[in-house]
Structure 1
Amino acid sequence: MSDSDKYPADSGRRRFVKGVVGGAALAGVGTTGAAAVNSATSSTGSGGGPTQAYAIENTGGPAPRGMPQIPIEIDDEGYIRGVWPEVQTVTQNGVEVELAITEDYQGTGVTYSQDWFQYCGVQTYDGLNPTFESDNYFRSDNGAYDWQSETYSAGDRLNVNDFDEYETWGNGIGQAGLGMPATGTWRSQDTEDTMPIQVLRSTRIEEAAQDNEWLAASTDQGVIAWLNKCTHFCCVPGYKQAASSATFGGEDGVYCQCHQSVYDPFSIVETLFTALPRPSE
């Protein structure tokens, strides 16, 4: 994989805080109460470009920003799916193109688009094509956790009712009772490319969503999800998967073993970055 397939090269990267650039519009909404916007990079070609997205916060290691959150919904049978933005035909530079973009997502004022996931080569995946046919349900992979591999076969849809021990679950790494995780894929059926995701059900997310407009709209029953591609070198991190994470303060977070980046799934911040352009159809 070439560097251009990973993420844009640094170009005058800056760190923004509330009241500096865009004021409250760029202020983080971390459930810890911290205001933060992760690093920004500069311009790119047509498609993609400067993008604001909500992400689980990067709190340690070399990753330049958090991993993007996937808004979710739970159907009447308890199955969990990621919400895909509305597909629209827009004119860019005099050419009509199809984009997946939802402005004012559920009345939050947030613009949610496919650009959130256009980094690390994901922008070339079939699943990120705006019109790719998918039911958008999260499906189990081989299961990174004992409970998951005992409950699901690869390809089974994740169901919120199977996370019934989420208030007490633990696996000997870090503190028990913070939440119950699962790993899986999204928009990856019948393709060679796999979009890895992580799901976490937690009382901390339930509580935070009660007085946070974005979390109320993008989570459900304490379930939160994100695209599980480290923004450093595109590895696949894990929540409570590596015993060595404690050495780097990541035992209660999402830890990337490749280069020790740590993310906090309980702190959701707004990031400003340059989304890579999708290839021409």
Structure 2
Amino acid sequence: MSDSDKYPSDSGRRRFVKGVVGGAALAGVGTTGAAAINSATTSPGAGGGATQAYAIENTGGPAPRGMPQIPVEIDSDGFIKGVWPEVKTENQGGIEVTVASTEDYKGTGVTYSSEWFQYCGVESYEGIQPDYESDNYFLSDSGAYEWQSETYSAGDRLNINDFSDYTEWGNGIGRAGLGKPATGTWRSQDSEDTIPIQIIRSPLIEEAAQDNEWLAASTDQGVIAWLNKCTHFCCVPGYKQAADAAKFGAENDVYCQCHQSVYDPFSVVQTLFTARPRPHSGE
């Protein structure tokens, strides 16, 4: 693969909610192909298989697809939480299993499920079990940004009021004013495994949500969030965290320093992938 294939130059585009990547290919899967998919995902666990999710777009490097979006809500006190799908029991192959899935999420026609996050080993994390007890608030980690480490201690809830300068914020990497970021964890209280997330409050998201049904339903006050696990080798990328991101045209994007994958947090796309099954609780 040539360098130009791996690391395309920054086009400066900002796109919002495009069609399904690979959807036509899935529609064309016949009996043989469907059997192959099922065989590849058969497990004593639950869920998995061909999954359609919304994600921040992968625009460069070796990552095969974008990182899955986490729908966001902000409570009356300004604290930011990730919405977890509805927990219910279904009969799958004669076995009762607990799943987390919301059909027609807020009237968008989108099925939002925990399968969006079942990759990179995250499917085995305690917090991805549908009935894991969590208030779903985003908690600050040690803080990847100076402003964040000065404002929060690890474990504090992220609050919208601390993002009030989101239309001006900058840290010397790329353009200022695109949005104000923070890093944190989700559904990881009292768990050995930490689910890393990143959020940005951005005027670009705020504007796009005004005439886009999915973004209006899945973002709040310009805040967008995603599971921060690179879909390549499961590293943890960062928005405006690496000075060398400019070498790969990623100074205004989410950049993974490990293998130079690039994601556009302002371009939300539908993506198709094979989610990995969750192990049964207690396995």
Short-chain TM bin: 0.7 to 0.9
Partner of 2:158: 158
The alpha carbon displacement at 1:179 in A equals: 0.2
Partner of 2:67: 67
Partner of 1:37: 20
SS of 2:231's partner is coil
Q: Which runs of 5+ in 2 are unaligned?
A: 1-12, 27-36
The alpha carbon displacement at 1:54 in A equals: 0.2
1:141 equivalent in alignment to 2:141: yes
Partner of 1:170: 170
User: Identical aligned pairs, as a percentage?
Assistant: 74
For 2:181 and 2:22, the matched residues in 1 are separated by 27
SS of 1:269's partner is strand
Partner of 1:260: 260
Once structures 1 and 2 are overlaid, which stretch shifts more, 41-50 or 164-173? 41-50
1:85 equivalent in alignment to 2:79: no
Partner of 2:4: none
Count of residue pairs the alignment pairs up: 252
CA RMSD of aligned residues (A): 1.5
Q: TM-score, normalised by structure 2?
A: 0.87
From the superposition, tell whether residues 177 and 215 of structure 1 become closer, same or farther in structure 2 (CA, over 3 Å): same
Q: Is the 8 A contact 1:39 1:65 kept in 2?
A: no
For 1:261 and 1:158, the matched residues in 2 are separated by 27
**Which portions of structure 1, spanning 4 or more consecutive aligned residues, are displaced by more than 4 angstroms?**
39-43
The alpha carbon displacement at 1:194 in A equals: 0.3
Q: Is the 8 A contact 2:16 2:269 kept in 1?
A: no
**Partner deviation per Cα, 1:13-51 (whole Å, 9 max, x = no partner):** xxxxxxxxxxxxxxxxx9625744345894412521000
| Structure 1 letter corresponding to 2:181 | P
Q: Is the 8 A contact 1:31 1:268 kept in 2?
A: no
Q: Is the 8 A contact 1:237 1:254 kept in 2?
A: yes
For 2:75 and 2:102, the matched residues in 1 are separated by 20
For 2:101 and 2:68, the matched residues in 1 are separated by 15
| Structure 2 letter corresponding to 1:175 | R
For 1:153 and 1:214, the matched residues in 2 are separated by 33
SS of 2:171's partner is coil
Partner of 1:231: 231
Q: Is the 8 A contact 2:16 2:266 kept in 1?
A: no
For 1:122 and 1:254, the matched residues in 2 are separated by 20
Q: TM-score, normalised by structure 1?
A: 0.87
Give 1:180-259 correspondences, 5 Å limit: 180-259=180-259
From the superposition, tell whether residues 34 and 96 of structure 1 become closer, same or farther in structure 2 (CA, over 3 Å): closer
